[in-house]
Amino acid sequence: MVIITVDSQRRIYIPQKLPFEAEKVIVIPQGNSYLLIPIPRKIIEIDVPLSTRELRKMAEEKAKKEAMERATRTKHV
């Protein structure tokens, strides 16, 4: 776990020791927290038979599940 400081202009700086190779991120509010999803520099287009709404719902459900699993593991450490 890493604690990151927010400056007076609401900027955050991700330490170099964290593997993070993106210039932009998607920010998803998760209750009192935020989930940062890196946007790859090179985007690969794919054809998916699901709607954007269906994909978003699947991604949010998976992110919530993973966040809960990590929170549970952190509490037991």
Write out pLDDT tens, residues 11-29. Answer: 988 888 888 888 889 999 9
Whole-number pLDDT of residue 51 = 92
Residue-number span of the structural domain to which 28 is assigned: 24-76
For residue 19, tell me if it sits in a domain. no
Instruction: Please indicate, yes or no, if residue 16 is contained in any of the structural domains.
Output: no
Query: Is residue 8 included in any domain, yes or no?
Result: no
- What is the tally of structural domains in the chain? 1
Q: Mean pLDDT over all residues of the chain?
A: 87
> Which H or E run contains 25?
strand 24-30
For 72, counting Cβ atoms within 10 Å of its Cβ (0-12 exposed, 13-18 middle, 19+ buried), the class is: exposed
Q: Is 6 among the domain residues?
A: no
Two tokens, residue 18: 């964290």
